[in-house]
Amino acid sequence: MDNKRSFSESFREMLAKRWLLLFTILVVVFFGILNSRFLQVANLLNIISSACIVGVMGVGLTAIFAAGELDFSAGSQVSLAACVMAVLLSRTPIHNYFVGVLLTLLILAGVGAYNAFLHVKVGIPAFIATLGTSYLVKGIAKSLTNSQTINNQASWPSCFTFVGQGYLFGVIPMPVIILVIVGALMLFYTEYTRHGRYLYAVGANPTACDYIGIDGKAQKVKGFVITAVMCGIAGIMQSSQMNAASPTLGEGMFVPALTTVFLGATFGKVGVFNIPGTLVGALLFSIINQGLLMITSDLSVKYIVQGSLLLFSLIMVVVIRVLQRKK
Protein backbone atom coordinates (compact mmCIF):
# COMPACT_ATOMS: atom_id res chain seq x y z
CA MET A 1 0.00 0.00 0.00
CA ASP A 2 2.84 2.36 0.90
CA ASN A 3 4.51 1.67 -2.44
CA LYS A 4 1.26 2.34 -4.30
CA ARG A 5 0.65 5.52 -2.34
CA SER A 6 4.24 6.61 -2.94
CA PHE A 7 3.95 5.97 -6.67
CA SER A 8 0.62 7.82 -6.83
CA GLU A 9 2.03 10.82 -4.97
CA SER A 10 5.15 10.86 -7.15
CA PHE A 11 3.04 10.72 -10.30
CA ARG A 12 0.80 13.58 -9.14
CA GLU A 13 3.83 15.64 -8.21
CA MET A 14 5.43 14.98 -11.59
CA LEU A 15 2.19 15.84 -13.38
CA ALA A 16 1.86 19.09 -11.39
CA LYS A 17 5.36 20.11 -12.41
CA ARG A 18 5.28 18.98 -16.05
CA TRP A 19 1.68 19.55 -17.06
CA LEU A 20 2.62 22.55 -19.22
CA LEU A 21 4.86 20.40 -21.42
CA LEU A 22 2.16 17.75 -21.71
CA PHE A 23 -0.41 20.40 -22.58
CA THR A 24 1.93 21.80 -25.25
CA ILE A 25 2.19 18.37 -26.89
CA LEU A 26 -1.60 17.97 -26.80
CA VAL A 27 -2.05 21.40 -28.44
CA VAL A 28 0.32 20.35 -31.24
CA VAL A 29 -1.73 17.18 -31.81
CA PHE A 30 -4.98 19.17 -31.70
CA PHE A 31 -3.89 21.65 -34.39
CA GLY A 32 -2.35 18.81 -36.40
CA ILE A 33 -5.74 17.09 -36.53
CA LEU A 34 -7.52 20.29 -37.54
CA ASN A 35 -4.99 21.12 -40.26
CA SER A 36 -2.52 18.53 -41.58
CA ARG A 37 -0.18 21.28 -42.82
CA PHE A 38 0.44 22.28 -39.21
CA LEU A 39 2.73 19.29 -38.68
CA GLN A 40 4.85 19.95 -41.75
CA VAL A 41 8.53 20.46 -40.97
CA ALA A 42 8.62 23.95 -42.51
CA ASN A 43 5.70 25.09 -40.35
CA LEU A 44 7.16 23.59 -37.18
CA LEU A 45 10.48 25.34 -37.85
CA ASN A 46 8.58 28.60 -38.37
CA ILE A 47 6.81 28.11 -35.02
CA ILE A 48 10.11 27.49 -33.25
CA SER A 49 11.72 30.55 -34.87
CA SER A 50 8.78 32.74 -33.81
CA ALA A 51 9.01 31.39 -30.27
CA CYS A 52 12.69 32.30 -30.07
CA ILE A 53 12.25 36.09 -30.14
CA VAL A 54 9.51 36.07 -27.49
CA GLY A 55 11.54 33.45 -25.62
CA VAL A 56 14.65 35.64 -25.41
CA MET A 57 12.54 38.56 -24.23
CA GLY A 58 10.79 36.27 -21.74
CA VAL A 59 14.15 35.07 -20.37
CA GLY A 60 15.00 38.70 -19.66
CA LEU A 61 11.68 39.35 -17.94
CA THR A 62 12.17 36.21 -15.87
CA ALA A 63 15.24 37.82 -14.30
CA ILE A 64 13.42 40.94 -13.14
CA PHE A 65 10.34 38.99 -11.99
CA ALA A 66 12.62 36.65 -10.04
CA ALA A 67 13.98 39.74 -8.26
CA GLY A 68 10.43 40.68 -7.29
CA GLU A 69 9.96 43.57 -9.72
CA LEU A 70 8.56 44.14 -13.22
CA ASP A 71 9.49 46.11 -16.33
CA PHE A 72 6.73 47.61 -18.44
CA SER A 73 9.23 49.20 -20.80
CA ALA A 74 10.37 45.85 -22.23
CA GLY A 75 8.38 46.17 -25.47
CA SER A 76 9.72 49.68 -26.12
CA GLN A 77 13.23 48.43 -25.43
CA VAL A 78 12.84 45.87 -28.22
CA SER A 79 11.85 48.65 -30.61
CA LEU A 80 14.74 50.86 -29.49
CA ALA A 81 17.29 48.08 -30.01
CA ALA A 82 16.06 47.46 -33.54
CA CYS A 83 16.13 51.18 -34.39
CA VAL A 84 19.54 51.83 -32.83
CA MET A 85 21.04 48.86 -34.68
CA ALA A 86 19.57 49.97 -38.01
CA VAL A 87 20.63 53.61 -37.55
CA LEU A 88 24.18 52.69 -36.51
CA LEU A 89 24.69 50.55 -39.61
CA SER A 90 23.03 52.87 -42.13
CA ARG A 91 23.54 56.45 -40.92
CA THR A 92 26.89 56.41 -39.10
CA PRO A 93 30.47 55.47 -40.04
CA ILE A 94 29.99 52.23 -38.09
CA HIS A 95 29.42 49.44 -40.61
CA ASN A 96 30.81 46.53 -38.63
CA TYR A 97 27.90 44.35 -37.56
CA PHE A 98 29.46 43.08 -34.34
CA VAL A 99 30.47 46.57 -33.24
CA GLY A 100 26.88 47.65 -33.91
CA VAL A 101 25.55 44.78 -31.78
CA LEU A 102 27.91 45.63 -28.93
CA LEU A 103 27.01 49.34 -28.95
CA THR A 104 23.29 48.54 -29.17
CA LEU A 105 23.43 46.22 -26.17
CA LEU A 106 25.46 48.78 -24.20
CA ILE A 107 22.79 51.41 -24.90
CA LEU A 108 20.08 48.99 -23.79
CA ALA A 109 22.04 48.18 -20.65
CA GLY A 110 21.99 51.92 -20.00
CA VAL A 111 18.18 51.89 -20.28
CA GLY A 112 18.07 49.07 -17.73
CA ALA A 113 20.37 51.03 -15.42
CA TYR A 114 18.11 54.07 -15.81
CA ASN A 115 15.08 52.01 -14.77
CA ALA A 116 17.04 50.73 -11.79
CA PHE A 117 18.05 54.28 -10.84
CA LEU A 118 14.44 55.47 -10.87
CA HIS A 119 13.26 52.56 -8.76
CA VAL A 120 16.19 51.74 -6.47
CA LYS A 121 17.75 55.17 -5.96
CA VAL A 122 14.86 57.59 -6.42
CA GLY A 123 12.30 55.23 -4.91
CA ILE A 124 9.65 55.33 -7.65
CA PRO A 125 7.62 52.08 -7.76
CA ALA A 126 8.84 49.89 -10.62
CA PHE A 127 5.37 49.86 -12.20
CA ILE A 128 5.32 53.64 -12.58
CA ALA A 129 9.03 54.07 -13.32
CA THR A 130 9.14 51.55 -16.17
CA LEU A 131 5.83 52.74 -17.58
CA GLY A 132 7.29 56.24 -17.83
CA THR A 133 10.50 54.86 -19.33
CA SER A 134 8.49 53.03 -21.99
CA TYR A 135 7.18 56.35 -23.36
CA LEU A 136 10.62 57.94 -23.13
CA VAL A 137 12.24 55.07 -25.00
CA LYS A 138 9.48 55.03 -27.59
CA GLY A 139 10.02 58.75 -28.19
CA ILE A 140 13.77 58.21 -28.66
CA ALA A 141 13.12 55.42 -31.16
CA LYS A 142 10.71 57.64 -33.11
CA SER A 143 13.23 60.48 -33.08
CA LEU A 144 16.00 58.23 -34.41
CA THR A 145 13.87 57.00 -37.30
CA ASN A 146 11.69 60.07 -37.90
CA SER A 147 8.76 57.79 -37.02
CA GLN A 148 9.41 55.76 -40.17
CA THR A 149 10.48 52.23 -40.99
CA ILE A 150 14.16 51.88 -41.84
CA ASN A 151 14.89 49.50 -44.66
CA ASN A 152 18.37 50.17 -45.98
CA GLN A 153 19.55 46.77 -47.17
CA ALA A 154 22.28 48.18 -49.40
CA SER A 155 24.34 49.49 -46.48
CA TRP A 156 23.68 46.57 -44.13
CA PRO A 157 26.12 43.66 -43.94
CA SER A 158 24.88 40.25 -45.04
CA CYS A 159 24.96 38.92 -41.48
CA PHE A 160 22.22 41.43 -40.56
CA THR A 161 19.60 39.06 -41.96
CA PHE A 162 21.52 35.89 -41.15
CA VAL A 163 20.84 36.26 -37.43
CA GLY A 164 17.07 36.19 -37.94
CA GLN A 165 16.70 34.28 -41.19
CA GLY A 166 19.82 32.14 -41.56
CA TYR A 167 20.39 28.45 -40.78
CA LEU A 168 23.34 26.78 -39.09
CA PHE A 169 24.60 23.96 -41.30
CA GLY A 170 21.59 24.70 -43.50
CA VAL A 171 19.27 22.98 -40.99
CA ILE A 172 18.97 24.74 -37.61
CA PRO A 173 17.47 28.27 -37.64
CA MET A 174 19.82 30.85 -36.14
CA PRO A 175 17.13 32.21 -33.76
CA VAL A 176 17.02 28.72 -32.21
CA ILE A 177 20.79 28.75 -31.73
CA ILE A 178 20.63 32.17 -30.07
CA LEU A 179 17.76 31.13 -27.78
CA VAL A 180 19.57 27.95 -26.74
CA ILE A 181 22.74 29.89 -25.92
CA VAL A 182 20.90 32.66 -24.06
CA GLY A 183 18.68 30.18 -22.22
CA ALA A 184 21.59 27.94 -21.24
CA LEU A 185 23.68 30.86 -19.96
CA MET A 186 20.80 32.31 -17.94
CA LEU A 187 19.82 28.86 -16.62
CA PHE A 188 23.39 28.22 -15.47
CA TYR A 189 23.62 31.67 -13.90
CA THR A 190 20.31 31.57 -12.03
CA GLU A 191 20.42 27.93 -10.93
CA TYR A 192 24.10 27.10 -10.44
CA THR A 193 25.80 30.30 -9.30
CA ARG A 194 25.55 32.01 -5.93
CA HIS A 195 24.94 35.48 -7.36
CA GLY A 196 22.26 34.14 -9.70
CA ARG A 197 20.38 32.57 -6.79
CA TYR A 198 20.51 35.91 -5.00
CA LEU A 199 17.95 37.18 -7.53
CA TYR A 200 15.43 34.62 -6.29
CA ALA A 201 16.35 35.25 -2.66
CA VAL A 202 15.66 38.98 -3.00
CA GLY A 203 12.40 38.35 -4.83
CA ALA A 204 11.25 35.87 -2.18
CA ASN A 205 12.19 37.80 0.96
CA PRO A 206 14.10 41.09 0.60
CA THR A 207 13.96 41.79 4.34
CA ALA A 208 15.67 38.51 5.22
CA CYS A 209 18.30 39.20 2.56
CA ASP A 210 19.21 42.44 4.29
CA TYR A 211 19.80 40.57 7.54
CA ILE A 212 22.12 37.97 5.96
CA GLY A 213 24.15 40.46 3.97
CA ILE A 214 22.67 40.17 0.48
CA ASP A 215 22.44 43.60 -1.19
CA GLY A 216 18.85 43.59 -2.43
CA LYS A 217 19.23 46.89 -4.27
CA ALA A 218 22.22 45.61 -6.24
CA GLN A 219 20.31 42.48 -7.23
CA LYS A 220 17.40 44.55 -8.51
CA VAL A 221 19.78 46.73 -10.54
CA LYS A 222 21.18 43.55 -12.03
CA GLY A 223 17.69 42.29 -12.83
CA PHE A 224 16.75 45.49 -14.70
CA VAL A 225 20.01 45.47 -16.70
CA ILE A 226 19.67 41.78 -17.64
CA THR A 227 16.09 42.38 -18.80
CA ALA A 228 17.14 45.33 -20.96
CA VAL A 229 20.04 43.45 -22.56
CA MET A 230 17.81 40.47 -23.37
CA CYS A 231 15.23 42.82 -24.90
CA GLY A 232 18.08 44.29 -26.93
CA ILE A 233 18.98 40.86 -28.28
CA ALA A 234 15.30 40.21 -29.07
CA GLY A 235 15.08 43.53 -30.93
CA ILE A 236 18.16 42.74 -33.02
CA MET A 237 16.72 39.32 -33.87
CA GLN A 238 13.32 40.78 -34.76
CA SER A 239 14.76 43.45 -37.07
CA SER A 240 16.95 40.82 -38.70
CA GLN A 241 13.98 38.54 -39.25
CA MET A 242 11.94 41.37 -40.81
CA ASN A 243 14.95 42.95 -42.55
CA ALA A 244 13.68 46.31 -41.28
CA ALA A 245 13.35 48.37 -38.12
CA SER A 246 10.60 50.63 -36.84
CA PRO A 247 9.74 52.38 -33.56
CA THR A 248 6.64 50.19 -33.22
CA LEU A 249 8.41 46.87 -33.76
CA GLY A 250 8.16 45.67 -30.17
CA GLU A 251 4.76 47.06 -29.20
CA GLY A 252 2.98 43.77 -29.66
CA MET A 253 5.63 41.64 -27.96
CA PHE A 254 5.24 42.62 -24.31
CA VAL A 255 2.01 40.72 -23.62
CA PRO A 256 3.25 37.49 -25.32
CA ALA A 257 6.51 37.68 -23.35
CA LEU A 258 4.62 38.39 -20.12
CA THR A 259 2.35 35.43 -20.79
CA THR A 260 5.30 33.07 -21.35
CA VAL A 261 6.88 34.13 -18.06
CA PHE A 262 3.71 33.49 -16.05
CA LEU A 263 3.03 30.23 -17.85
CA GLY A 264 6.60 29.24 -17.04
CA ALA A 265 5.95 29.77 -13.34
CA THR A 266 3.57 26.78 -13.47
CA PHE A 267 6.28 24.48 -14.84
CA GLY A 268 9.19 22.81 -13.06
CA LYS A 269 9.64 25.04 -10.04
CA VAL A 270 5.91 25.51 -9.56
CA GLY A 271 5.04 29.00 -8.39
CA VAL A 272 8.54 30.31 -9.17
CA PHE A 273 9.58 32.20 -12.29
CA ASN A 274 12.19 30.04 -13.99
CA ILE A 275 14.05 29.81 -17.29
CA PRO A 276 12.97 26.30 -18.46
CA GLY A 277 9.35 27.16 -17.77
CA THR A 278 9.61 30.42 -19.70
CA LEU A 279 11.04 28.57 -22.71
CA VAL A 280 8.22 26.02 -22.68
CA GLY A 281 5.71 28.85 -22.28
CA ALA A 282 7.19 30.67 -25.28
CA LEU A 283 6.88 27.53 -27.39
CA LEU A 284 3.27 26.98 -26.31
CA PHE A 285 2.34 30.59 -27.06
CA SER A 286 3.91 30.39 -30.54
CA ILE A 287 2.17 27.08 -31.26
CA ILE A 288 -1.24 28.48 -30.30
CA ASN A 289 -0.63 31.67 -32.27
CA GLN A 290 0.40 29.85 -35.44
CA GLY A 291 -2.35 27.26 -35.06
CA LEU A 292 -5.02 29.95 -34.82
CA LEU A 293 -3.64 31.70 -37.90
CA MET A 294 -3.96 28.46 -39.85
CA ILE A 295 -7.54 27.69 -38.87
CA THR A 296 -9.09 31.17 -38.77
CA SER A 297 -8.47 34.65 -40.11
CA ASP A 298 -10.54 36.29 -37.36
CA LEU A 299 -8.10 38.39 -35.30
CA SER A 300 -10.61 38.70 -32.48
CA VAL A 301 -10.22 34.99 -31.77
CA LYS A 302 -6.44 35.43 -31.53
CA TYR A 303 -6.72 38.26 -29.00
CA ILE A 304 -9.37 36.45 -26.97
CA VAL A 305 -7.18 33.35 -26.72
CA GLN A 306 -4.05 35.36 -25.90
CA GLY A 307 -5.86 37.34 -23.22
CA SER A 308 -7.40 34.20 -21.77
CA LEU A 309 -4.02 32.49 -21.70
CA LEU A 310 -2.47 35.39 -19.81
CA LEU A 311 -5.31 35.54 -17.28
CA PHE A 312 -5.21 31.77 -16.84
CA SER A 313 -1.46 31.80 -16.16
CA LEU A 314 -1.83 34.68 -13.69
CA ILE A 315 -4.61 32.89 -11.80
CA MET A 316 -2.60 29.65 -11.75
CA VAL A 317 0.46 31.36 -10.25
CA VAL A 318 -1.64 33.10 -7.59
CA VAL A 319 -3.49 29.89 -6.65
CA ILE A 320 -0.27 27.89 -6.50
CA ARG A 321 1.39 30.41 -4.21
CA VAL A 322 -1.64 30.57 -1.91
CA LEU A 323 -1.65 26.76 -1.62
CA GLN A 324 2.09 26.74 -0.94
CA ARG A 325 1.68 29.26 1.90
CA LYS A 326 -1.06 27.13 3.49
CA LYS A 327 1.24 24.09 3.40
pLDDT in tens, 79-125: 999 999 988 888 788 778 889 899 999 999 999 999 999 999 999 99
Q: What's 19-322's CATH class? A: mainly alpha
Specify whether the CB–CB gap between 133 and 114 falls below 8 A. yes
Query: Which comes out higher in pLDDT, residue 68 or 326?
Result: 68
pLDDT at 12 over 60: yes
Res. 138 pLDDT band, cuts 50 70 90: very high
* Residue 245: strand pairing partners: 150
Q: What is the pLDDT of residue 1?
A: 47
Percent of the chain at pLDDT > 90 equals 35
Nearest of 186, 195, 227, 189 to residue 214 by alpha carbon: 195
Question: For the chain, how big is the Rg over CA atoms in Å?
Answer: 20
What are the pLDDT digits (tens) for 252-287?
A: 889 889 989 988 888 877 778 899 999 999 998 898
Q: What is the pLDDT of residue 49?
A: 84
Query: Strand runs (DSSP E) across 77-173, as ranges?
Result: 167-168, 172-173
Q: What is the pLDDT of residue 132?
A: 93
Residue 245's SS3 state is strand
Domain residues of the chain, as ranges?
19-322
Specify whether the CB–CB gap between 224 and 64 falls below 8 A. yes
Specify whether the CB–CB gap between 314 and 95 falls below 8 A. no
Task: Specify the amino acid at residue 122.
Answer: V
Q: What is the pLDDT of residue 300?
A: 77
- pTM for the predicted model, two decimal places: 0.89
Query: Which comes out higher in pLDDT, residue 105 or 50?
Result: 105
Distance (Å, whole) CA 51 – CA 58: 10
Res. 220 pLDDT band, cuts 50 70 90: very high
Distance (Å, whole) CA 215 – CA 169: 45
Specify whether the CB–CB gap between 104 and 88 falls below 8 A. yes
Res. 302 pLDDT band, cuts 50 70 90: confident
Task: Specify the amino acid at residue 36.
Answer: S
pLDDT at 321 over 60: yes
